[in-house]
Amino acid sequence: MTDPAVATAVGPVGVTAGPAGRAEPSRGGAVPVEPLRVGIVGGGFMARVHAGAARSAGARVVALASSSPASAARAATSLGVDTAHESVDDLVTDPDVDVVHVCSPNATHAPVALAALAAGKHIVCEKPLATSGAEAEALVEAARAGRLVGAVPFVYRYHPMVREARARVAAGEVGRVLSVRGSYLQDWLLDSDDVDWRVDSAAGGPSRAFADIGSHLVDLLEFVLGDRLARLTSTTNTAHAHRGGSSVDTEDEAAVVFETTRGAIGTLFVSQVAPGRKNRLLLDLSGTAESLEFSQEEPETLWVGRRSGTQLVARDAAVLTPDAARLSTVPAGHPMGYVDAFAGFVRDAHDAVRGGTPEGLPTFVDGLRAVRVTEAVLASAASRRWVDVP
Ligand code: SOE
């Protein structure tokens, strides 16, 4: 089987090899025919995940910057990255970097990504794309104007069984979708002494649980359904008024009731204080012919419910729809999970940098969409009314 990283290294239509084996840019930033060179902003858990996924996609992780020169040096050593930059500006203007992966706290996403786009870099920016709709819109525009790739890691789209569910909905197998139940539960912020930058709205933005994990849930739901939330009503809850001595101004939980543009109804529940739930993202939908359920913690199967003949479909490229089979990179019986989904996402994002048009790549437009839904959730919770989702 051809390694996708090798296949794309041949170069897409419109990219010609320039001096030193590097291609002349046919769009925005430089598009090398050699392995892409990644620079990472951030030094935490997500920086580690991005570094591993980028390497698995065939890229070289060449530089890293973080909140201080010392933390950049520490993270670069631990992730095996050669260059630790003194500042984020140095990284985004580094001529040896083709793609910037933004893994720093939420409030820094927009300024860092804008600076990198201004320097002609392609971007993979963590979600939420920005902490306001206006900033997210500016990012969409800047990427468009520079003809640069902007991708957002809504990585749960990259589980093969999610693609299988999406294909079944699109093919009409489930019938007309009547209802959807989505939930995303974690427990890592359960206690009042659990602290993290995400809790502080200055670093994490006005929404916490919904922006952090509700954004994944909404993206997954709209991606699988091929439909959009049209209006919603919500309520939020904060479990602890104080954490680690500081007052808390972001939500731990959000409950949402919604209607879609095609007339389905549904609920979303998001919590970061649900004991025992680690990363339980669950999407359960019912159509007039079939129900489907996908659970992120058991990503190797898709439950297909029928009035008679209910099945648990196991991942096996031989029987999956083409897009699900494409992301099924190891044979059946060799479990795939979060790390593989992340690698699949980065492979597609980097393919887009080379001029490809991979199916289902989440872009800045999808990042903006999730920010808009998050704003609608907060607006509804504050006004206690139904709101239209723009
Ligand atoms: C923490 O809630 C977190 O790491 C999220 O930020 C990620 O997006 C999610 O994939 C796992 O949980």
What mean pLDDT comes out for the span 220-234?
98
pLDDT at residue 13 tops 90: no
Is ligand 1 within 6 A of the CB of residue 296?
Answer: no
Q: What is the number of other CB atoms lying within 10 angstroms of the CB of residue 20? A: 7
Instruction: Using pLDDT thresholds of 50, 70 and 90, give the confidence band for residue 23.
Output: very low
pLDDT at residue 24 tops 60: no
240, two tokens: 């602890």
369, two tokens: 């969409």
- CA 260 / ligand 1 centre spacing (Å): 26
Q: Do 180 and 61 touch, CB atoms closer than 8 A? A: no
What mean pLDDT comes out for the span 223-246?
97
In this prediction, residue 31 carries a pLDDT of 60
HEC assignment per residue over 123-155: EEECCCCCCCHHHHHHHHHHHHHHCCCEECCCH
For the chain, what percent of residues have pLDDT higher than 70?
Answer: 92
**Residue 99, burial from CB neighbour count under 10 angstroms (0-12, 13-18, 19+):** buried
Tell me which residue of 256, 261, 253, 191 sits closest to 226, measured CA to CA: 261
Cβ neighbors of 235 (< 8 A, separation 6 or more) are: 254, 255, 381, 384
Best residue among 212, 217, 253, 273 to mutate for probing ligand 1, ranked by most atoms within 8 Å of CB: 212
User: d(Cα 249, Cα 200) in Å, to the nearest integer?
Assistant: 7
Instruction: Using pLDDT thresholds of 50, 70 and 90, give the confidence band for residue 20.
Output: very low
What mean pLDDT comes out for the span 85-109?
98
Q: What is the pLDDT of residues 28-74, one digit of tens each?
A: 665 666 999 999 999 999 999 999 999 999 999 999 999 999 999 99
Q: What is the pLDDT of residues 373-389, one digit of tens each?
A: 999 999 999 999 999 99
Residue pointed to by tokens 């872009």: 363
**Lowest-pLDDT choice from 21-35, 106-120, 151-165, 212-226:** 21-35
Report the chain's mean pLDDT, rounded to a whole number: 93
Q: What is the pLDDT of residues 284-294, one digit of tens each?
A: 999 999 999 99
User: d(Cα 143, Cα 41) in Å, to the nearest integer?
Assistant: 18
Q: What is the number of other CB atoms lying within 10 angstroms of the CB of residue 265? A: 12
pLDDT at residue 27 tops 60: no
Is ligand 1 within 6 A of the CB of residue 279?
Answer: yes
Task: Supply the angle between the helices 215-225 and 160-170 in degrees, to the nearest 10.
Answer: 40
User: d(Cα 341, Cα 56) in Å, to the nearest integer?
Assistant: 11
Is ligand 1 within 6 A of the CB of residue 212?
Answer: yes
pLDDT at residue 8 tops 50: no
Is ligand 1 within 6 A of the CB of residue 370?
Answer: no
In this prediction, residue 26 carries a pLDDT of 40
pLDDT at residue 2 tops 50: no
User: d(Cα 99, Cα 104) in Å, to the nearest integer?
Assistant: 15
Is ligand 1 within 6 A of the CB of residue 213?
Answer: yes
pLDDT at residue 348 tops 50: yes
Atom of ligand 1 nearest to the CA of 188: 2
Best residue among 102, 213, 340, 342 to mutate for probing ligand 1, ranked by most atoms within 8 Å of CB: 213
Atom of ligand 1 nearest to the CA of 127: 8
Q: Which domains does the chain carry? A: 1-156+337-357 (3.40.50.720), 160-335 (3.30.360.10)
